[in-house]
Amino acid sequence: MIKVKVYVTLKAGVLDPQGKAIEQALEAMDVNNVEGMRVGKYMEFHLEPEKGQSVDEQVTHMCEQLLSNPVIEDYRYETEEVITP
Amino acid sequence: MIKVKVYVTLKAGVLDPQGKAIEQALEAMDVNNVEGMRVGKYMEFHLEPEKGQSVDEQVTHMCEQLLSNPVIEDYRYETEEVITP
């Protein structure tokens, strides 16, 4: 069993209205020393490896077809083996 | 300047309808070896440290007051110093 963590972020240059809203909310809280707030998604799941396909191939397929929008978003992921007794 | 990365995840046991929707979409794509999909938020920003307050204090304050909902969400964060020439 593999634990996969996927991070999806907006590409540089893509407007991030959610990040801007957070910056404004922080200013309203008197926090004025934050800049460049960017909001993305974080997903984690367990993957049972399938024969004939590498984990990288599978996760890349999922990220490109469903978990991210490749036009405006980048993704990266980490995998770790889970040892179940 | 400090670069901060914040990860906000639903607490264990809190229903994650977005994660369930992704699992169903994956099944519709013939990906049947994924389980326990959980969706969270990922935020990154730059922080200019303020005198008289540690970075940890500041980030904890922001996370608890704005970036996460402590009733149903957990957060963790990483900080790294950014050296600007």
Q: Tell me: the pLDDT tens digits for B27-75?
A: 999 999 999 999 999 999 999 988 888 999 999 999 999 999 999 999 9
- Give the span between the Cα atoms of A61 and A68, in whole angstroms: 10
B83 vs chain A: nearest CA distance in angstroms? 16
Both tokens of A27, joined, read 């200013």
CA–centroid distance for B80 within its chain: 16
**Domain ranges within chain A, ordered by starting residue:** 2-81
| Domain topology for A2-81 | Mth169; Chain: A , (3.30.1280)
Q: Tell me: the pLDDT tens digits for B1-34?
A: 999 999 999 999 999 999 999 999 999 999 999 9
Report which of A80, A67, A3 is spatially closest to residue B18, judged by C-alpha positions: A67
A40:B43 CB<8 A: yes
State ipTM. 0.86
Q: Tell me: the pLDDT tens digits for A4-15?
A: 999 999 999 999
B40 vs A contacts (CB less than 8 Å): 41-44
Nearest to A45 among B36, B45, B49 (CB): B36
Residues β-bridged to residue B6: B43, B77
Both tokens of B72, joined, read 């149903």
Identify the residue among A6, A37, A48, A69 best suited for mutation to test binding to B, counting B beta carbons within 10 A and taking the highest. A37
Mean pLDDT of A27-54: 93
Residue B83: the pLDDT is 85
Residue B15 is given by DSSP the state -
3-state helix, strand, coil in chain B (%, to 5): 30, 40, 35
Q: Which long-range contacts (CB under 8 A, 24 or more apart) does A79-82 make?
A: A79/A2, A79/A3, A79/A4, A79/A5, A79/A47, A79/A55, A80/A2, A80/A3, A81/A1, A81/A2, A81/A3, A82/A1, A82/A2, A82/A3, A82/A46
Residue B16: the pLDDT is 96
A85 vs chain B: nearest CA distance in angstroms? 18
